[in-house]
Amino acid sequence: MTAFSIVLLAMIAAFLGMRLYSVLGKRTGHEQEPVLPRRDDRAVPSPVRLEDGETPSPSVGVPDTSGLVYEPAAEIGLRQLLASDRNFDAGRFMEGAEAAYRMILEAYWKGDRDTLRDLCDDDSYEAFVEAIEARDARGEKLENRLVGIESAKITAVEMDRKEARVTVRYQADISAVTRDAHGKMIAGSMSDASRTDDLWTFRRAIGSDDPNWLLDEIEAA
């Protein structure tokens, strides 16, 4: 079975890096629920779907380095991606990536399996469902809220013969509260938001007729 790690909010940073499976079933009832499950293994996929825009002109596909949608280190990879897929547009991709970030977080927090099924590949979906089921078994509910995305940029693009992988770094503020089966708050605060800094990697088969991207992996930046 694939091992997954969880990254807790800043208030319990001492638990960063612990594997998800080593934590489930061992909670005392007072630890903060993770924002979402994560995996260690970069070679094996995690959650979302994005849609590319219309066919861009060469100058639109990769903006100049003064733009905010990607970091300079990703430029070579972006140009390689454009050479393989002229329909890719970095700006439109990022619009979808920010929307996907919000949708996946909210679906996981609410336990919305239908939305996660639509946004995740099989491995990712299974990871989320296992985390949701463990939470439900404890009788816990999350009242998390994405306060805002402070920054979102493409940091890397990887290409092989079969697929492209685009990594986005998100810096966001999240307020989180965990309640027990009786509605009592056992962790978190809705008045104090914590900063998260994550890398989400999306993948898509090169040459596929399906314009959607799947979130392949999540890890702490």
Q: How large is the average pLDDT for residues 49-57?
A: 47
Number of H helices, E strands in the chain: 6, 8
Nearest to 90 by CA among 146, 149, 167: 167
Spell out the residues 6+ positions from residue 167 whose beta carbon is closer than 8 angstroms to its own. Answer: 74, 154, 155, 156, 157, 158, 199, 200, 201, 202
Q: Between 115 and 24, whose confidence is greater?
A: 115
Q: What is the pLDDT of residues 88-97, one digit of tens each?
A: 999 999 999 9
Which 3 state secondary structure label does DSSP give 210? coil
Q: Between 33 and 123, whose confidence is greater?
A: 123
Q: Could you tell me the two tokens for 158?
A: 């990887």
- pLDDT at position 80 is 94
Q: What is the pLDDT of residues 63-75, one digit of tens each?
A: 444 456 999 999 9
Single pTM value for the model: 0.71
* CA distance linking residue 32 with residue 26, whole number of Å: 13
Residue ranges of domains in the chain, CATH in brackets: 4-220 (3.10.450.240)
Q: How large is the average pLDDT for residues 209-219?
A: 86
- Does the pLDDT at position 147 exceed 80? yes
